[in-house]
Structure 1
């Protein structure tokens, strides 16, 4: 065989090897759970990205949702101690601190259990829900308890990934690992749009069974925590907590009417609106919000 033929054959083999490498499944890297207390699940790479500084507030600043706060805190404490606990769905009004509460509860409980069994938080994005079984499989034998957290979880009419979530939470062959619990926030109580449920009812041969298939997703969450629009007094209490926590030098008689006008211009009162006002107030006072 001539040298040119050998070179041509080697070139073809190199191309074939390159194609096979691209077709091969990506290598699964064992996550470094020791790297941090909080992570973000990167589904495409099947890795956990450690988060050194988490965007959250102290649980002492969560106001106006005392009942939900206490229930979620107790559920999380039981889970961190290895006791039975429920998946939790935090649903309801926008801006009332649903995701803030999850992160604050994790911080509080992790501080209480600072040893080898320290509680970990992993955020999974809504579009990566289909990879939830894969993530649970990676965490099954890890020596830590994990909260898997999905913020703003909901499904559209043509979205079937909710079936993967149902199976991962309770219905799969392996079942949910004992060291994993799932917390989600949503504006919808049943996670699915009302017109999707109504469409199933009107077109299905057996409407009751079709609707049950959709609604039963929320049944996988043993703990339902409703968040509703806050009253004026609750809104002002949130502001008072923020102002005291950050030591902002302003009298109540001065900030209160200003804060009420702020809420009026936005057409709502909520924890998010309260925090936005505090940011504006601190900026006008020339003070950085650092704690």
Structure 2
């Protein structure tokens, strides 16, 4: 059977030609060493990826959903279903591979163990979980191909299908998924109702394809600015919103990052610049200004910048800036506010008052099933505040961690 498998004859799935497991299957069936080596590769893949069942078909399904091919890349780049010719080429490739997708693995490698493999640890994969019922119901190669096309249209492929939060990888020049993201829900962030509603309204407009602004969340430390941005993922994940963390050192690459995200027209991206501030001489200062507005290349319609900062204009300001030793004093002021002005929506976070601070503590403790009397809450919370850096959501969270640790 494997002697009839010619990966070089595939039209749009020809990247499979580089897959080590499939390459083994194109060699001589009767070579026991090659079959053993291929079996070893497949078992290692099953253990690393948590694949179970008929291993060869599950492995191929994983490749289809996690590696790029011409069809998945074209659909993600255009936001459109494949054209009739590309679709037909995809059908023919799946038909060519169909025996590998449906027959027991032992028919190719001779090992019954691989027909119903149980890995040491099953690893949940939401993308394959969505796709498996469609695949199992497929009666023909065309049904199988259509199931994959439905998946690509909804989820995309690779990291973009598996994750909702990303970082920019400088070495690979692409976004990489962040697997261990601590999810936050907006309803669990206490206080700042007006600020949260402003943030939600702007983001809702963005994911709905309506005009939306870049956002600057500015104000006191520890007030939940970053948590509010992260909570947007849970709110709008099903609307295809994704979050991309960008460090200050990567700001010079903003045009490159935006160009990369432009190719995912079916997704909406928030570029998250967390806790940033600049000297007015920083090169990154001008990079952000240009990326938001004023550069030759326009900001992609599927990208918005959300930044948090403790500085209202993002730039360090001194009294010397107000001195009139410069001929055109207004030029200095204009340069100072020129970056913050490019954020169409500026949301201010104030230091919580005593009641707000205690309400945050009370809510966090209640989530853990602990209810203090108002007097106990006031005494313990204020004592913690006085021995730390004042009132903030962060101080409240640290108090709760301390309280749970000693009780």
Question: In structure 2, do the counterparts of structure 1 residues 210 and 35 end up closer, same or farther at CA, with 3 Å as the change threshold?
Answer: same
Counterpart contact for 2:362–2:371, Cα < 8 Å: no
Residue 33 of structure 1 pairs with residue 160 of structure 2: yes
- How far apart, in 1, do the equivalents of 2:324 and 2:368 lie? 54
Question: In structure 2, do the counterparts of structure 1 residues 242 and 39 end up closer, same or farther at CA, with 3 Å as the change threshold?
Answer: same
- How far apart, in 2, do the equivalents of 1:35 and 1:208 lie? 49
RMSD: 2.1
How many residues are paired up?
250
Question: In structure 2, do the counterparts of structure 1 residues 78 and 149 end up closer, same or farther at CA, with 3 Å as the change threshold?
Answer: same
- Offset of residue 189 of structure 1: 0.8
- How far apart, in 1, do the equivalents of 2:256 and 2:340 lie? 21
Task: Give the aligned partner of residue 103 of structure 1.
Answer: 230
Residue 279 of structure 1 pairs with residue 401 of structure 2: yes
Residue 121 of structure 1 pairs with residue 263 of structure 2: no
Higher deviation after alignment, 190-199 or 58-67? 190-199
Counterpart contact for 1:126–1:152, Cα < 8 Å: no
- How far apart, in 2, do the equivalents of 1:203 and 1:138 lie? 44
Task: Give the aligned partner of residue 233 of structure 1.
Answer: 355
Task: Give the aligned partner of residue 390 of structure 2.
Answer: 268
Counterpart contact for 2:242–2:270, Cα < 8 Å: yes
Question: In structure 2, do the counterparts of structure 1 residues 196 and 134 end up closer, same or farther at CA, with 3 Å as the change threshold?
Answer: farther
Residue 52 of structure 1 pairs with residue 179 of structure 2: yes
Residue 147 of structure 1 pairs with residue 276 of structure 2: no
Q: TM-score, normalised by structure 2?
A: 0.58
Higher RCO by CA contacts (8 Å cutoff, separation 6 or greater):
1
- Offset of residue 253 of structure 1: 4.2
Task: Tell me the alpha carbon deviations over residues 218-246 of structure 1, each in whole angstroms, 9 at most, x when there is no partner.
Answer: 11101011111111100011111111222
Question: In structure 2, do the counterparts of structure 1 residues 204 and 160 end up closer, same or farther at CA, with 3 Å as the change threshold?
Answer: farther
Task: Give the aligned partner of residue 213 of structure 1.
Answer: 335
Structure having the higher helix fraction is 2
- Offset of residue 265 of structure 1: 1.1
Task: Give the aligned partner of residue 70 of structure 1.
Answer: 197
- Structure 1 unmatched runs, 5+: 1-29, 286-291
- How far apart, in 2, do the equivalents of 1:60 and 1:246 lie? 16
Task: Tell me the alpha carbon deviations over residues 96-120 of structure 1, each in whole angstroms, 9 at most, x when there is no partner.
Answer: 011011101232122xxx2xx5110
Q: Secondary structure at the match of 1:155?
A: coil
Counterpart contact for 2:271–2:305, Cα < 8 Å: yes
Q: Secondary structure at the match of 1:40?
A: strand
Q: Secondary structure at the match of 1:133?
A: helix
- How far apart, in 1, do the equivalents of 2:318 and 2:378 lie? 41
Q: TM-score, normalised by structure 1?
A: 0.80
Question: In structure 2, do the counterparts of structure 1 residues 124 and 203 end up closer, same or farther at CA, with 3 Å as the change threshold?
Answer: farther
| From 318, 338, 344, the counterpart of 1:195 | 318
Residue 178 of structure 1 pairs with residue 305 of structure 2: no
Counterpart contact for 2:276–2:308, Cα < 8 Å: yes
- Offset of residue 208 of structure 1: 1.4
